[in-house]
Amino acid sequence: MPGTHMPLTRRAKQGLAAVLAAGSALTAFMAATPAQSSTAGTSTAATSVEGSPVTCTSHRPGLADRLERDIAASLHGHGKASALALYDRTTDTSCAFRADTAFDSASVVKVTILGALLRQVADENRHLTSREVDLTTAMITKSDNAATNALWHQVGHDGIQHFLNLAGMRDTVPGPKGTWGRTQITAGDQVKLLRLLTSDNSVLGTRSRSYALRLMTRVVPDQRWGTPAGAPGTATVHVKNGWLKRSTNGWRVHSVGVFNGGGHDYGMAVLSHDNRTMENGVATVERAARAINRDLNLPKAS
């Protein structure tokens, strides 16, 4: 079960005109990212991995092109079984690769369950109980499945769906018959959730967001792999991972992360399946994460 301790190709560069002309075809991939801007200094580019486009926009000249190239290189050989989305507020950058493709959630859904509980608590105009504090802490910091089961049933399908509706996570489908690890998620929706956790909004208040992010900074050391790979030492890292093996599509290995403080304000979701082992999946996720963390933190050209 997820959360237990179980264990370019040829690059076809397209110009801005081609990207705009293909806008309708790329809508699904860009659902979780801001619209392309015509503001001076914005750069856009497009490349692909095994037939699927990597699309990035950025207000920092050259960054979109660099990210597309490096993301594509990092996912080479696993492009048909992975997905990715990211945002960076400091450079007004966003990227998406197969961001509307559905994956079994494994334990990354635990952040969604936490968000749904916090929204429910706010709607009831109360604070978390000591029991809820214990359960949420175990669920996020240790990826405890028993705690997750308890909270999944407490919040209920209607509570989970209410939160998804408010969050605009339209591609996320709660798992059947209480199987939270088989919730269908997309990289695009996961980035929507990360954005909610890191900005003022009407869905989650300041207290709720701070609580969720605080738990994500306290994830136990042996579960802090994935999106933190290559993160700058000046950033505060918030992470939640998920891993699950099934008879079809092998190991699902996912990681979502938020990086802020010290001038940083970005987040990413990297999803994968069809991994032969969990270690293979971690390596796939971390190759992409290292490329993104490196490119977003290169010194700004003078």
Phi, psi (5° rounding) for residue 37? -105, 150
For 94-108, give the secondary structure using H, E and C: EEEECCCCCEECHHH
Enumerate residues 6+ apart whose C-beta is below 8 A from 221.
none
pLDDT of residue 233: 96
CB 31 within 8 A of CB 188: yes
| pLDDT tens per residue across all 302 residues of the chain | 444 433 333 333 343 334 333 443 333 333 333 334 333 345 555 699 999 999 999 999 999 999 999 999 999 999 999 999 999 999 999 999 999 999 999 999 999 999 999 999 999 999 999 999 999 999 999 999 999 999 999 999 999 999 999 999 999 999 998 899 999 999 999 999 999 999 999 999 999 999 999 999 999 999 999 999 999 999 999 999 999 999 999 999 999 999 999 999 999 999 999 999 999 999 999 999 999 999 999 987 64
pLDDT of residue 177: 84
